Amino acid sequence: MKVFKFGGASIENVERAKNTAAIINENSTQPLLVVISAKGKTTNALEEIAHEYFNRQSEKALELFEQLKQDHNEYATALLEDQSVAIIENLQSLYLEIDWILNDVPVRGYDYYYDQIVSIGELLSTMIIAAYLNKNQVIATWIDVRDILKTDDTYRDAQIDWNATLQQVESQIVPLFANSNIVITQGFIGSTDENNSITLGREGSDYTAAVLANMCNAESVTIWKDVPSLLNGDPKIFPNTLPIEEITYHEVIEMAFYGAQVIHPKTIKPLQNKNIPLYVKCFLDKELKGTLIHNTDKKINYPPILVLKTKQTLLQVTTKDYSFITEDNLSRIYKMFHDCKIKINLIQNAAISFVACIDSHTAHLDELLALLNEQYEVKRNENLFLFTVRHYRQDILKEELKNRTVLLTQKTRQTIQMVVK
């Protein structure tokens, strides 16, 4: 069995959806588990709806949701034509889940409502794509991954219950291949013990594919993207990027950790644990070689790998009594970050100060600042960038740092990181 994962860009319009269906059909001679994201830009639209709803702007949220419904109904009609009525009726049951929420008053935390609302995107897209495949005599079985992927209740960043999920995979997914070579499901979402919808964090669809591949003992995973392969940098940011045809699990984990957007940070471990190769292929031209990610003992000569994280905030936390930033203060500060669910992208500490670079759009930043200010003096710089180079060379650094001011630098043998403005 193989696992394919398609992102939102691969189905964002009718033409691309048909192309994705053709790729699935061409590989339908053996069992194929297909994980699909929400249609392009849908998650962003649902995030806006969640924001308006939680801020007691229900009319605006309902208006935006009506637009999203219309968009998906038109999308389904264009794909399914005379068979669209039945699928639109099925979509209505999903719409109803959100309508109930939007017509009520929020009484729980934002993260809970975010997950209930945003999770519908993947359900809508997969239901439509599965119907289109079956309309074209490509037998595909649709399954709600919320019945499979069981998690804790950490909304927006759920942790998978591996034992419970494995039981569901073995009892519900594996038997489906007795009647169909193709099973369609969703990425990014799961459910709690109380059957509440939950998400695995942004870009978590790759992770879903890896987890299911691990539990199904898949032959391989292929992630279909709109780029020819993994590149050594984002071509929208860095000119003259280079393709990477082969890369190890270790190296791609480093890329993901530092913020490269190609592979989700958690995706590699489930594959590495069972030595399942991961391919990155281009859905726009499936004949391109793409990238193979796997274990290998041979030496690979990598080009400099460039990662630029935007919208960064630099926090400087200083003790008020001039006490040293040693284990007691460090543990206290780390706990505050942990309790506020804020991830640190870069840290450095001196005698009486602790510096952390974090994402500026972090949901609980105000909560963190309030906690820190109770015990420490806090300064912050905003609108910054975090620039990381693996396998760095001085000529690359000189070129990329032109017209930038470096505020903080950390360097190891293979990696250099700089907070710049």
Q: What is the CATH number of the domain that holds 97?
A: 3.40.1160.10
Q: Checking phi first, is residue 361 left (phi over 0); if not, alpha (psi -120 to 50) or beta?
A: alpha
374, part of any domain: yes
150, part of any domain: yes
Backbone angles phi, psi at 45, to 5 degrees: -65, -40
Q: Which amino acid is at 60?
A: K
Q: Looking at the structure, tell me whether residues 206 and 309 fall in a common domain.
A: no
Range(s) of the domain holding residue 103: 2-226
Q: Which amino acid is at 31?
A: P
Q: Looking at the structure, tell me whether residues 192 and 324 fall in a common domain.
A: no
Q: Looking at the structure, tell me whether residues 217 and 333 fall in a common domain.
A: no
Q: Looking at the structure, tell me whether residues 195 and 311 fall in a common domain.
A: no
Q: Looking at the structure, tell me whether residues 93 and 202 fall in a common domain.
A: yes
Mention every residue, 6+ apart, whose C-beta is less than 8 A from residue 47. Answer: 114, 118
Question: Which of residues 167, 200, 226 is at a domain's end?
Answer: 226
14, part of any domain: yes
Q: Looking at the structure, tell me whether residues 56 and 183 fall in a common domain.
A: yes
Mean pLDDT of 278-305: 95
3-state secondary structure 313-356: EEEEEEECCCCCCCHHHHHHHHHHHHHCCCCCCEEEECCCEEEE
Tell me: the pLDDT tens digits for 340-373? 999 999 999 999 999 999 999 877 899 999 999 9
282, part of any domain: no
Tell me: the pLDDT tens digits for 81-136? 999 999 999 999 999 999 999 999 999 999 999 999 999 999 999 999 999 999 99
Q: Looking at the structure, tell me whether residues 311 and 414 fall in a common domain.
A: yes
Tell me: the pLDDT tens digits for 89-104? 999 999 999 999 999 9
Mean pLDDT of 280-300: 95
Question: Which of residues 175, 210, 226 is at a domain's end?
Answer: 226
Give the helix, strand, coil percentages of the chain, each rounded to 5.
40, 25, 35
Mean pLDDT of 197-205: 89
pLDDT at 362: 76
316, part of any domain: yes
pLDDT at 257: 86
Residue 69 confidence class, pLDDT cut points 50, 70, 90: very high
Residue labelled with tokens 């398609």 = 6
88, part of any domain: yes
244, part of any domain: no
Instruction: For residue 118, give the 3-state DSSP assignment.
Output: helix
User: How much is the mean pLDDT over the chain?
Assistant: 95
Report the domain count for the chain: 2
Residue 264 confidence class, pLDDT cut points 50, 70, 90: confident
Q: Looking at the structure, tell me whether residues 208 and 311 fall in a common domain.
A: no
Question: Which of residues 178, 199, 226 is at a domain's end?
Answer: 226
The CATH number that applies at residue 379 is 3.30.2130.10
Distance, in Å, from the CA atom of 206 to the CA atom of 217, rounded to the nearest integer, reads 16
State yes or no: pLDDT of 13 exceeds 80: yes
Q: Looking at the structure, tell me whether residues 195 and 322 fall in a common domain.
A: no
356, part of any domain: yes
